Amino acid sequence: MAGRRIVIADDEAIIRMGVRAILEDAGHQVVGEASTGADVLRLVPDVVPDLVVLDIRMPSPDGIEVARRLRAEFPVPIVFLTAFSDKQLLLEAAEAGGYGYIVKPVQDGEILAAVEVAAARWNELHAAKDALETRKIVERAKGILMRRLNMSEEDAYQLLHRRSRHLRRAMREVAHDILETDQAIRRRTARK
């Protein structure tokens, strides 16, 4: 398990101290602490954490609103920390982008497991998004090759694959170059 850079946000200093001790003992680095939602929103872009442990009920804005804003402005996985096990609160936390939910008092194993699961889910989601984006770019590049060079889909794919291996670059990068070249040709042709 690689240590993660984590921000802890809770309005109770004793809770922050306990969570910090658990995380640091497990090899994580606490890169910041906050006691209000406003503090979290200022802190996170500055310290660029891998994950935020966030109290749901804290001074303005509350943790749910902080999570919504972070998801829109500075996406980072969030593990919610709360003294409440209310079903509605759990649903709101999930809708706000929470990747984990821990009920106080915090137990070592629970918080460490929540951090690992949240990080793994985050990585899976971003890997899937990246793979989808790569596929879209490769498909567009294949279409350009098929149209411009009168190739079959399989031949276009094989050309991209060989070029990727020859240049020792990711297929996505090679496909992106083809898209840019095609765009430059279109602009030049349009000016004539």
Here the CATH number for the domain that contains residue 146 is 1.10.10.10
- Same structural domain, 59 and 9: yes
Residues 14 and 72 in one domain: yes
- Kindly provide the b/e burial profile for residues 177-186, where b requires at least 16 CB atoms within 10 angstroms of the residue's own CB: ebeeebeeee
Q: What is the mean pLDDT of residues 28-37?
A: 97
Residue 56 belongs to domain spanning: 5-106
10 shares its domain with 97: yes
Query: How many structural domains comprise the chain?
Result: 2
Q: In this structure, is residue 120 part of a structural domain?
A: no
Which pLDDT band holds residue 126 (cuts at 50, 70, 90)? Answer: confident
Shared domain check, 67 and 32: yes
Q: Could you say which of 73, 106, 139 is where a domain stops?
A: 106
Domain contains 116: no
Higher pLDDT, 126 or 52: 52
Q: What CATH number has the domain bearing residue 84?
A: 3.40.50.2300
Query: The whole model's pTM is what?
Result: 0.72
